[in-house]
Amino acid sequence: MTVRVATWNVNSIVPRLPRVLDWLDRTAPDVLCLQEIKNTTEAFPAEEITARGYEVAAYGLGRWNGVAILSRVGLDDVVRGLPGEPGFDGQAEARAIGATCGGIRLWSVYVPNGREPQNPHYAYKLEWFEKLSDLVGEEMRNARPFAVLGDFNVAPTDDDVWDITLFAESTHVTGPERAALKKLRDAGLSDVFPRPLKYDHPFTYWDYRAGNFPNNKGMRIDLVYGNEVFAKAVTDSYVDREARKGKGPSDHAPIVVDLEL
């Protein structure tokens, strides 16, 4: 069975909907994990997506964050929220949703940004990673294909940012953040490394400002972490930088993963 799975931080689903619909039509993923839908579960604009044959599971609590999974190969055992996840400043946040699609267990995640290393948001980020690690430990008890996809807000290596010298005192590249990723790999997940459609590095994010996209000043912070049976089934993976072009894009590009299961 061939399955195409994708992940995309859309930076708000409502203004991005025309682009997402067009991208679904052209790319035809079986499953699409979304991050930063920036609205509520109830307000998710599902109609035109379901008209294309996808089931929708969304989880959003308001104007920030929010995640979703779209699937045309089944959408079962949906879990909204990371078990035991911390909130920030006393508020729950919608940053994870899990579902089983076509026999594959998938989690769409939007890891907290961290802001600056001294900011309480950074400690929250590391705490959130701990709960993600706990979840992965639980999911790894099953033999089925399993992957965590989404915006991890960490560049795994110095090659995953356009110029590491500009990241002193910055989040996304610190030792503890990278150690959190390593802990996921030590638990048995592999970084499904995508090919870039252009240039040398498969960046997935480029700031809107200062011409960062045309200058390819990007970061690889959106990741696909799969267990062994998932990773071994991968036949191709790429970052669709075409989706970052033109008027009204997200600041992230989608990652597409093809599997033969």
Whole-number Å distance between alpha carbons of 125 and 56: 27
Is 201 catalytic? The answer is no
138 is in an annotated binding site: no
- Check binding of 209 to DNA (CB under 7 A): yes
Chain centroid to Cα 192, Å, comes to: 12
We find the least distance from the C-beta atom of residue 3 to DNA, in angstroms, to be: 27
- Check binding of 9 to DNA (CB under 7 A): yes
Q: How many CB atoms lie within 10 A of CB 193?
A: 12
Which of 55, 151, 160, 240 touches DNA (CB under 7 A)?
151
- Check binding of 27 to DNA (CB under 7 A): no
Catalytic pick among 54, 59, 110, 122: 110
> Do 155 and 161 meet the contact criterion of CB atoms below 8 Å apart?
yes
Whole-number Å distance between alpha carbons of 115 and 229: 35
Which of 121, 131, 183, 201 touches DNA (CB under 7 A)?
121
- Check binding of 208 to DNA (CB under 7 A): yes
Burial per residue of 54-71, b for 16 or more beta-carbon CB atoms within 10 angstroms, e otherwise: bbbbbbbbeebbbbbbbb
Binding mask 41-80 for DNA (x = CB under 7 A): ---------------------xxx----------------
Is the C-alpha dihedral spanning 232, 178, 110, 239 positive or negative?
negative
- Check binding of 240 to DNA (CB under 7 A): no
Whole-number Å distance between alpha carbons of 97 and 162: 30
Which of 23, 203, 213, 225 touches DNA (CB under 7 A)?
213
We find the least distance from the C-beta atom of residue 202 to DNA, in angstroms, to be: 15
36 is in an annotated binding site: yes
Known catalytic residues are 110, 151, 252
